[in-house]
Structures are given as structure tokens and as C-alpha cells.
Amino acid sequence: MSYKLKVYIFIMSDSDDGDIPDRDTCQKLTEQFAEITGTDEACAQFYLQDRKWDLERSVNAFFESTSRGGINALHDGDEPELVIKVEEKPDIVFLQEVIPETFSYISDKLPEYMCIAGNVEGYFSALMLRRYTVYYDSHKIIQFPSSLMQRNLLCAEVHIGPLKLQLMTSHLESGMEHTKERLNQLQTAFKMIQKMPENQTVIFGGDLNLRDKELSVSGGVPPGIEDLWIACGSRKECQYTWDNVRNTNKSVPGKFKPRCRFDRIYIRHAHPRAVVPMHFGLIGIQKIINTQSFPSDHWGIQVFFNIEKSNLRDAAA
């Protein structure tokens, strides 16, 4: 006997970190956009982030979109379609590059999810737990002391019946010039995973900004931790989550279009194993209705697990 667990990773924004103005400027631009267009701040954030906080371009894009029937997913729909396909009812969602206004919007519009924020300002990671299937026990935020970008590790202890889970998500330091700090953050996360109680299944994922070469140089993935893309068959069609060949949200000059597996998800199994990874796929690969944009410049990750009830009974005995 088994039942399915669905875990998703979404990147909320496709802005480069270096293009983000300071918080006060962002708030001022957001308010100006909302006033000009007659929308709310969530809608303003969506358009401004996609256009590197250029107010004129963002306003023009909004009116061009609405003249064609428009995008309404973020300000007058019943659900934020750009954030999550609620009809698929994922049990656990890891969100990256969330801002306070968007976090508040998600929390208000999706009462069936418990939402946990990794910070109260700037850009941060967040967790969403489906209230009907996943039960919250506790959470903590681990700061990366050497981070120049205020990055941290958001951890939550939850359970699904007898299944005990430790959930960990992060947005690791961005940019080639910050490789050393990014790998330090990754090693911190891996060491924490290895110290978790053996009766817990640990799932760690997010926008890790990793290049394969970096991971190799740092010693690779520690024993006992599995890369779920590899565990589910290493399918080439879902290898790259930041893919400028297929995703046109970013304009990359020249013939070379970079493709990277920035977003990853790992598992450390409990003893005995309580879950079986069944499927690894990508989401957010269709353009938003009536626009020429994808939800993000990253594809989202979708992972399905089978929870083995028999193993859980044996562990309890």
C-alpha cells in the first residue's frame, strides 16, 4: 500500500540580483505602477520584476497586455496561476525569490496552504504546506554568516501521518564571482542533512545556482544523499532548469544560449526507507495566456513520491 506525495519548486521572479534597486525604490515604483494602472501591488511587482524595475516599460507592457484581453492571474483571479497550479494540489511547495507583498498575497489567496517565510524583507525563500495532508511541527531559519546577499536556509519539521519529514530550502549565493561562498553554503546544508535523525526523510531543494563543475570541485554530493533528477532517470528533457534555448524571458545576446541546472532537489532517506521517488519533471514551461512570457526565466521542478506505508509500520514496530 502507498500514496503519493507531491513536492514542487518554483522561482517567483526572473530578475537578476544585480538589477534589483534598493527596497525603498522598489516600493516607490510599485506604488506608482499601481496608481497609474489601477491595479494592486502584487500585479505591479510581477510586471516590474520582469522588466528590471523599469517603470515605463512595465506600464506599457501592462496596457499592451490588457488591450489583448490581458493577464489577470495576479490581481483579480480566484488563484495566482503564475505561482502554482492549485488544481494539481501539491503537498509541499518550495518558493524562491519571494517578496513580502507577494508572500502576503499567496497567504491570503491560498488558505488551504500554511505559508512559511524565510525573511521579512528583500527577496527570500518560502515554504507552502498543504493543510489537509502535511502537518507542521516546527521551523527555523539558519543564516549564512558570510553571505553578501542575505541568503539563509529555511528548515521545517513536518509529518504526514507516521512519516516524519525535514524540509530544507534555500536560494544560494548568485553569480560566478561568488562561487566560494555558494559552495560554503551548500556544504553547510549537506552537513546539516547528514546530522538529521535517521527516522526522518530529508528533502532539500531550491535555486542553488550550481554549475556541475563547481559541484565536482567541491567533492560532489556526500554519501547517503541523492540527487532526485539522477534518481529518477536523468531524463535529458528535464535536465536544465535555466534554459535560454527554450525559455525566452531572458534576452541573451549572441548565438550561444546558456543552459544550466541551477535548481536542484536532494533527498536523504530515512532508515528504513519510507518514500520512493517516482517522477521528476518540469513545470511552468507553457507561456502565460495572452502573453509572450513564461511564468519565470527558470522552469519549476515537480517531484512525485510514493510513501510506503508498510515500511512506516515496520519502523514504528
Catalytic annotation, residues: 207
- The grid coordinates of residue 18 equal 544585480
ω into residue 145 within 30 of 0, thus cis?
A: no
Q: Which three cell numbers stand for residue 296?
A: 519565470
Q: d(Cα 21, Cα 172) in Å, to the nearest integer?
A: 20
